[in-house]
Structure 1
Amino acid sequence: MSDDQRYRAVAGKDSRFDGVFYTCVTSTGIYCRPSCPAAVPKRGNVLFLPSAAAAQAHGFRACKRCRPDASPGSPEWNARADAVGRAMRLIADGAVDRDGVAGLAGALDYSERQLNRMLTAELGAGPLALARARRAQTARILIETTGLPMSDIAFASGFASIRQFNDTVREVFDRSPSQMRERAARGADPAGAGGIALRLPFREPLDAAPLFAFLAARAVPGVEEVSGGVYRRALALPHGAGVADIDMAPRTGRGAHLRCRLHLDDLRDLGAAVQRCRRLLDLDCDPGAIAAVLAADPLLAPSVAARPGLRSPGAADPAEYAARAVIGQQVSVAAARTVAGRLAERYGKPLSPALAALPGGVDRLFPSPGALAGAGPDGLPMPAPRARALAALCAELDSGGIDLGPGADREESAARMLRLPGIGPWTTGYIRMRALGDPDVLLHQDLVARRSLERLDPDAAAAPAERGRAWGPYRSYATHHLWALADPAAQAPVPAAGGGRG
C-alpha cells in the first residue's frame, strides 16, 4: 500500500487494516489503529509505521480510545515463511523473553546483527523493541483484569525490573500502572480467582459456527471439550500448563472479539497462551483478502459467498496436532478422536490440582512427543504400520530433528517428515496446514475434497493441483471450502488410499 492508500483507509475507518499498519499523529504524539473513532487527522500530520513497536520507538503513545496495541495481529506473519516472518512468530510466542535475542537469532540461524538489521528494515524496530511492545500489552491485560500486585505483574510480563515496568507503561500508555487499574472498564478479579479475562480481537467477518464445530468434532476427551457454548482446552506452555475457556459467540461491530478466560500455572505464560489461542482459531487472517482470491474462481465463488469469514484452524500445540494427523490416517474423525483419547488417558500428563479442579472435563495435557516415542509402537493402540509412523515422528520431534514451532522452516520440516516411513503427502500437508499454520496447502489427496471437486467440475477433479494454483496463497482455505461443500456426513478429512507410506 502507498501512504495515500493508507490515509484513505484511515479516513474510512477501515478495520480491515487494524494491525497491518499504525497511524502516528505528529501533532499529538499519539499512535492509533486505522479504525480509530477519533477525528481524522490532517494528512500532513500523519506518519504510517508497520508495527506498534516502531511507533513506540519513535516516541508515540498508544491512543487511549482505540487501544492500538490490542489490534489483531498482522496477517502477513501467517503467510510469510522467510526469516522475518519466522522471527515475528517466535517473538509473539515469547522467545526473546525466554532466550534473549541471541537465542532468537540462533533459532533462525542468523547472527544477532543480521537479524536486527532485517527486522528494523521491515518493521522499523529490532527484536528488543518488538518484545518490549509485547510485554507492554501483556502488562496491560494483567493490570486491567487481575488484582495481582504490580511487582508480580512486572515480572510475569517479562520485565527485568519494576522500574523498567513502570517506565515502559507510562511511556507507552501515558498512564501509571495504578492509574490504568483505576480506570479499567472491567472490575478486577481477586488475585488468582476466576483466571484472566481478556478479548481475542479479529477481523470481520468470522464464520464462528463451523470453526468451533470443526474443533468440537475432534475434541480429545480430557484434553479439550465443548460445553455450554464454551470451547475449553488444556495448553502446554513454556513454564507450565494452562486451560483456556473461549466463548464461542463472537462479539461483532467495532472492536470485534471473542471472549477468553485463561487459567495458568505460571503468569509468565500469558503472552504465549494468547498467541496459541489465536493461532488455533486463525484470528489473525485477513478474510477480505482471502475471499477476493477464492471468489475469483466460479468454482468456489458460491461457497465463499455462503460462508464469509471461513477460517482454517491452526494448532495450540504443533506437536500434538502432528501426532493427531498420523493417528487420523485413513480413519474417520470419530475413530481418530477415540484413539487420541485413549493415548491421552494413558500417557497424558495430569494438570495441576488447581487447574484440574476447574469446571468441566479437561484434566490433562495431550501426551508429549517424548511420552509417545517412549511408549514404542507396541504401546500405541493402532495398526502396527501407523504405530511405527507415530513413534518415529514423535522421536524426531522429541530430539529436535523436526521443528514444528512458530519459527520452523516449513519446507525443511515437511521434507524431513516425508523421509519418515508411514508419513505421506496427505499427512505432511495436514500437519503443514494445522501444526505449522501454513495458509497455502491444498490437500488434493483428500477423498472428501476430491468428491466435492468431482461434483463441481469433473475436469478440475482430474487435475486438482493444477486447478488449485489459482487459489494461492490461500489454498488451505480452499480446502476447507471443499470440505464444507461435502455432504454433512462426509465432512471429515480422510486421506486417499496410500496417503501414508508403508
Structure 2
Amino acid sequence: MSTTGIYCRPSCPAVTPKRQNVSFYPTAAAAQSRGFRACRRCRPDAVPGSAEWNVRADVVGRAMRMIGDGVVDREGVGGLATRLGYSARQVQRQLTAELGAGPVALARAQRAHTARVLLQTTDLPVTEIAFAAGFASVRQFNDTIRAVYELTPTGLRAAAPKRGGGRATPAAGIPLRLAHRGPYQAAAVFDLLAAEALPGVEDVRGERGARTYRRTLRLPHAGGIVAVEERGPRRRADTREGGWLEARLHLTDLRDLTTAVQRLRGLFDLDADPYAVDERLGADPRLAPLVRARPGLRSPGAADPEEFAVRAVVGRAAAARLVAEHGTPLPSPCGTLTHVFPEPAALADRLPLAAALADGTVRLDAGADRDDAERHLRAVAGVDAAAVALIRMRALGDPDVAPPGAPVDDAWRPWRSYAARHLWAAERERV
C-alpha cells in the first residue's frame, strides 16, 4: 500500500485499503525492491512457495527452483546462469521482466526470511545468524533486516510470538512450521514414507495420525537430521489459508538451513496448489469421487533426488545394503538413524546410474531440465521406463507424469502425477 509502505497478502485482514492506493507485485522480492516492508500480521514473506514453479519447465521456473535451493547464495548469479545455460544478463532480464525482481533480489528476500526464522526460533548469536542465512557481512544483514521488516535484528527477535518452552538452543534443533495451502492429506504422505523408509536413513514412529518421520540429510555444506510431525493444526487444516507441519531440524552447518527447508517442502509437496489440482481432477467423472474422498492429496517428492533415483532403480532391499556398505556413518547415531545415503561417486563402480550422476551425464538438481534428464536416464543401462517415470515424478518433482501401466488420461494434464496418486490410493484401499 502506497500510503503505509507495507505489502500484505491479498487476504490480509489488517486493512481494507482504497484501490487507488494499492499496487500488486508477483513476488515478495519485487515489493521489497520498491521499498515496501512486510506486514507483521499476515507475514507475506513466509507464504508457501508458488506452485507455478513446480509446473513450469522454462528458464524462469528452473531459476526459481534453484534460487530456492540456495544456488545464488553458494555460487552467485554467475553459477545460476551457468547451470541454466544462459548468460547472467539473460537470466536477470527474464526474471525481472516476469517477476519484477532479479536473482539477487529474490535471493535477498529468501535470506531475510531465513534470518527471521532463526532470530525468532533460536538463541543463536546475531552474528552467527547473519552468515547462516547467507549474508556476506553483518552490515549487509543489518541493512536488509531493517529494510524488509523496519526493525533491527534484535528488535525482530524481541517481536517474536511467544511459544511455550521458549526459543530453541542449537543443540535442540531449529523448530519449523512448514506451511501449506488448503487441505493436506498428511496420513497418505506418511503412509508412503513409512512404506518406503530405508533402514539407517529413515524411520517413522508412532500411531497413525500422530506419527513422526525422521531422516538424515546430505546437504551442500554438511549433513543434518530432521523430524516432521504428521499431526497438524486441526482448526486450520481445512481452511483456505491452509496449515503447517511441525518440524525440527538439526544441522551441522547452519548455512544449509535454506536448502534443507526447500528440500523438505519438495518431499512433502507443500508448495502445491490443491485447489487448482482438485478443480481439474474433480471435474472428471472417474476421479471426482476420489477427489471428494481425499481433498488436497499430494504427490510427494524427494529429500535427495540422487538418492531417490538410485533407490528407484535398485529397490529397497538393495538400497539398504548400499547404506550398510557404503553409507556415511553419523558421528553419533540418533536412535535407528545411523547413516547418510552414499554419494553417487561412492557407488560409481557398482551402478551405471550412479556413475552417470557422478560425472554429470544425468542431472537431477533443482534446476535440471526434466526432458533432458529423462532422455539421459533412458540411455543408462538398468534404468527402465517405470524407474524413469518415478524419478521424474519424485526426484524432479514433475506434477504431470503418466507412469507406465497406470490408466492415466491426457485430459488430466497438467496434474497427471496427482491423478496417479489418487488411483494408487484407491487401489490400496481395495486391497
Q: For this structure pair, what is the TM-score category when the shorter chain's length is used for normalisation? A: over 0.9
2:348 aligned to which of 365, 370, 373 = 373
Q: Distance in 1 between matches of 2:270 and 2:23?
A: 27
Q: Is the 8 A contact 2:121 2:168 kept in 1?
A: no
Look up the SS of the partner of 1:352 in the other structure.
strand
2:223 aligned to which of 235, 241, 253 = 241
Deviations 1:293-342 (A, max 9, x none): 111111111101101011000011000110111123xxxxxxx2x33222
Look up the SS of the partner of 2:109 in the other structure.
helix
Q: By how many angstroms is 1:188 displaced?
A: 4.9
Q: Which moved more, 1:178-187 or 1:433-442?
A: 178-187
Aligned residue type for 2:319: A
1:183 aligned to which of 152, 159, 172 = 159
Q: By how many angstroms is 1:362 displaced?
A: 1.3
Q: Distance in 2 between matches of 1:36 and 1:322?
A: 41
Q: Which moved more, 1:279-288 or 1:252-261?
A: 252-261
2:365 aligned to which of 405, 421, 441 = 405
1:215 aligned to which of 179, 190, 193 = 193
1:231 and 2:231 aligned: no
Look up the SS of the partner of 1:133 in the other structure.
helix
In the TM superposition, 1:22-37 aligns within 5 A as 25-37=1-13
Deviations 1:31-53 (A, max 9, x none): 11122221322211111111010
1:363 and 2:338 aligned: yes
1:301 and 2:288 aligned: yes
> Partner of 1:339 in structure 2?
318
Q: Distance in 2 between matches of 1:137 and 1:92?
A: 12
Matched pairs, number: 420
> Partner of 1:111 in structure 2?
87
Deviations 1:268-300 (A, max 9, x none): 000000000000000000001001111111111
Q: Distance in 1 between matches of 2:126 and 2:382?
A: 52
1:99 and 2:88 aligned: no
2:31 aligned to which of 55, 58, 64 = 55
1:323 and 2:310 aligned: yes
> Partner of 2:184 in structure 1?
206
Q: Distance in 2 between matches of 1:30 and 1:180?
A: 16
Q: Distance in 1 between matches of 2:393 and 2:246?
A: 25
Q: Distance in 2 between matches of 1:363 and 1:49?
A: 46
Aligned residue type for 1:196: I
Greater Rg over alpha carbons, structure: 1
Q: Distance in 2 between matches of 1:144 and 1:361?
A: 31
2:385 aligned to which of 388, 413, 425 = 425
Q: Distance in 1 between matches of 2:430 and 2:282?
A: 26
Deviations 1:51-92 (A, max 9, x none): 010010010000011111110000001110011100000000
Look up the SS of the partner of 1:200 in the other structure.
strand
Q: By how many angstroms is 1:489 displaced?
A: 7.8
> Partner of 1:154 in structure 2?
130
2:426 aligned to which of 469, 476, 485 = 485
Aligned residue type for 1:475: R
Q: Distance in 1 between matches of 2:242 and 2:282?
A: 26
Q: Is the 8 A contact 1:429 1:441 kept in 2?
A: yes
Q: Distance in 1 between matches of 2:254 and 2:428?
A: 44
Q: Is the 8 A contact 2:7 2:38 kept in 1?
A: yes
- Work out which structure has the larger RCO, using CA pairs closer than 8 Å and 6 or more positions apart in sequence: 2
Q: Distance in 2 between matches of 1:392 and 1:339?
A: 15
Q: Which moved more, 1:177-186 or 1:279-288?
A: 177-186
> Partner of 1:381 in structure 2?
none
Q: By how many angstroms is 1:224 displaced?
A: 0.7
1:43 and 2:19 aligned: yes
Look up the SS of the partner of 1:193 in the other structure.
helix
Q: Which moved more, 1:413-422 or 1:396-405?
A: 413-422
Q: Distance in 2 between matches of 1:489 and 1:262?
A: 37
Q: Is the 8 A contact 1:144 1:188 kept in 2?
A: no
Q: By how many angstroms is 1:487 displaced?
A: 3.8
> Partner of 2:264 in structure 1?
277
Q: Distance in 1 between matches of 2:202 and 2:299?
A: 18
Q: Distance in 2 between matches of 1:435 and 1:346?
A: 23
Q: Distance in 1 between matches of 2:155 and 2:242?
A: 23
1:263 and 2:250 aligned: yes
Q: Distance in 1 between matches of 2:168 and 2:214?
A: 22
Aligned residue type for 1:276: R
Look up the SS of the partner of 1:84 in the other structure.
helix
Q: Which ranges in structure 2 are unaligned for 5 or more consecutive residues? A: none
> Partner of 1:192 in structure 2?
170
TM-score normalized by structure 2? 0.95
Q: Is the 8 A contact 1:147 1:188 kept in 2?
A: no
> Partner of 1:442 in structure 2?
402
Q: Distance in 2 between matches of 1:339 and 1:423?
A: 15
Q: Which moved more, 1:69-78 or 1:188-197?
A: 188-197
Q: By how many angstroms is 1:189 displaced?
A: 3.5
Look up the SS of the partner of 1:371 in the other structure.
helix
TM-score normalized by structure 1? 0.82
Aligned residue type for 1:243: I
CA RMSD, aligned part only? 1.4
Q: Distance in 1 between matches of 2:127 and 2:242?
A: 30
Q: Distance in 2 between matches of 1:34 and 1:246?
A: 29
Aligned residue type for 1:301: A
Q: By how many angstroms is 1:421 displaced?
A: 2.2
Q: By how many angstroms is 1:180 displaced?
A: 1.4
